[in-house]
Amino acid sequence: MKRTNIADVAQKAGVSPTAVSFAFNKPEQLNSETVNRIRMTAIEMGYMPNPMARALIAQRSGIIGVMLPQPLSTVLANPYFHTFLQGISSMCDEQALSLMTLSPMNGSLDQAIARSPVDGFIIVGYNEAHHEVSLLRKRGIQYVLVDGDATCAPSVNIDDEQGAYLAAKYLVDKGHRDILILMLDTAFGHTDEELHGVAMRRMRGYRRAFDEVSVVWRNEWVLPSVSSMIGGQQNFDAAYEQGLRPTALLGAADAIAIGAIQAAIRRGMKVPEDLEIIGYDDSVLASLVQPGLSTVHQPIFEKGRVALELLIGEWESAAARVTDASTKQVWLPTHLVLRGTTT
């Protein structure tokens, strides 16, 4: 019933627990004959060191936690996160780290954080002001923010504002004036203010392009949408039923834009002839849908890798007892990718 531990192996091999530990971790401290005997005994008994005990003493578990802004089921439905997690995990492979995902669960991230034996967090979609994040800071647990504003910790962001600007600019320059904007809903709610960095930046980018050529910004043409195809569909339909007849559409996420394409086609519109569409993210789906989605490219995969690199950097500077006042804020570039949903 009980799992075999180091003492069991030691007893059977006729040595001390220390010797068993050495046999695995510092074999040069032991007679090679003894090492072999101990290893044999261990294999025979199916012994593996208890990872919790090991992590407890080493003060590190080799696990990094990824804190996600939405329940895992929502996140997994979003191609943006697939690529992002791929980026992190490719780095994990190289560094022999394991990955653990944390999502708001039963409304309580706190609990999940409290019982996570991780060496640090990559936090996606929260600002530093967020309650959970400030808790980590107080506790002295290292973290890196992604898609969120930071000053006390390293962060990775993209140039959301510029990307959005490029997309909107492209459309207004072509003469469009009735542009429907399906914005991330995180820009609206007032309950979770901390989430809103990315959405606000994209909104500002769109707005800047409008202002530059004096296109009127009408709030009723900006709809909040959840980041999913369903969200895009529903909001396009809602806009249409309110009497809006856009000639172009800006989707603040690819999933939203793709949903909108489908809704538009279903209403008999032709894309891009009747409706030009530009999304955001350049997720894998963008090049797969028909017609291919024009969108703002961001280096999602790289974002994940850089985030983990920064976290590892934090560990190293902590180990070297360097208090780097200059925490690294990384900004990755964005650019416009034109495919079939624009002419």
Q: Which one of the spans 138-146, 186-194, 210-218, 233-241 is the region binding a second copy (CB under 8 A)?
A: 138-146
Q: Could you tell me where the DSSP H helices lie in 77-159?
A: 79-95, 109-114, 131-139
Residue 94's SS3 state is helix
- Which residues 51-80 are close enough to bind a second copy by CB under 8 A? 51-56, 61-63, 71-73, 76-77
CB atoms within 10 A of CB 83: 20
Q: Which does 172 bind (CB under 5 to 8 A by kind): a second copy, DNA, none?
A: none
In this complex, which beta carbon is closest to DNA, that of residue 53 or of residue 338? Answer: 53
What does each C-alpha distance from 192 to 131, 147, 174, 199, 219 come to in angstroms? 10, 15, 36, 13, 21
Q: Which one of the spans 2-10, 133-141, 241-249, 292-300 is the region binding DNA (CB under 7 A)?
A: 2-10
- The distance of closest approach from Cβ of residue 171 to a second copy in the complex, given in angstroms and rounded to an integer, is 25
Site string for DNA, 19-58 (x = CB under 7 A): xxxx-xxx--xxx--x------------xxxx--xx-xxx
Q: Which one of the spans 137-145, 191-199, 233-241, 249-257 is the region binding a second copy (CB under 8 A)?
A: 137-145
Site string for DNA, 54-93 (x = CB under 7 A): x-xxxx----------------------------------
Distance CA 67, CA 125 (A): 9
**């050529």: which residue's tokens?**
213
Task: Read off the DSSP letter of residue 118.
Answer: -
- The distance of closest approach from Cβ of residue 20 to DNA in the complex, given in angstroms and rounded to an integer, is 7
Picking from 274, 245, 240, 271, the residue whose alpha carbon sits closest to that of residue 257 is 271
User: Does the footprint of a second copy cover residue 23 (CB under 8 A)?
Assistant: no
Picking from 190, 194, 107, 185, the residue whose alpha carbon sits closest to that of residue 145 is 194
Distance CA 179, CA 150 (A): 32
Q: Which helix (H) or strand (E) holds 317?
A: helix 300-319
CB 127 within 8 A of CB 197: yes
- The distance of closest approach from Cβ of residue 66 to DNA in the complex, given in angstroms and rounded to an integer, is 23
Q: Which two tokens stand for residue 326?
A: 């200059």
**């068993």: which residue's tokens?**
20
Judged on CB neighbours under 10 Å (0-12, 13-18, 19+), 2 is: exposed
- The distance of closest approach from Cβ of residue 44 to DNA in the complex, given in angstroms and rounded to an integer, is 15
- The distance of closest approach from Cβ of residue 45 to a second copy in the complex, given in angstroms and rounded to an integer, is 9
- The distance of closest approach from Cβ of residue 33 to a second copy in the complex, given in angstroms and rounded to an integer, is 25
CB atoms within 10 A of CB 249: 27
- Which residues 89-118 are close enough to bind a second copy by CB under 8 A? 89-90, 92-93, 96, 98-103, 105-106, 111-117
Name the residues that contact a second copy, by CB under 8 A: 1, 3-4, 46-56, 61-63, 71-73, 76-77, 82-83, 85-86, 89-90, 92-93, 96, 98-103, 105-106, 111-117, 135, 138-141, 229, 284, 288, 290, 318, 321
Name the residues that contact DNA, by CB under 7 A: 2-3, 5-7, 15-22, 24-26, 29-31, 34, 47-50, 53-54, 56-59
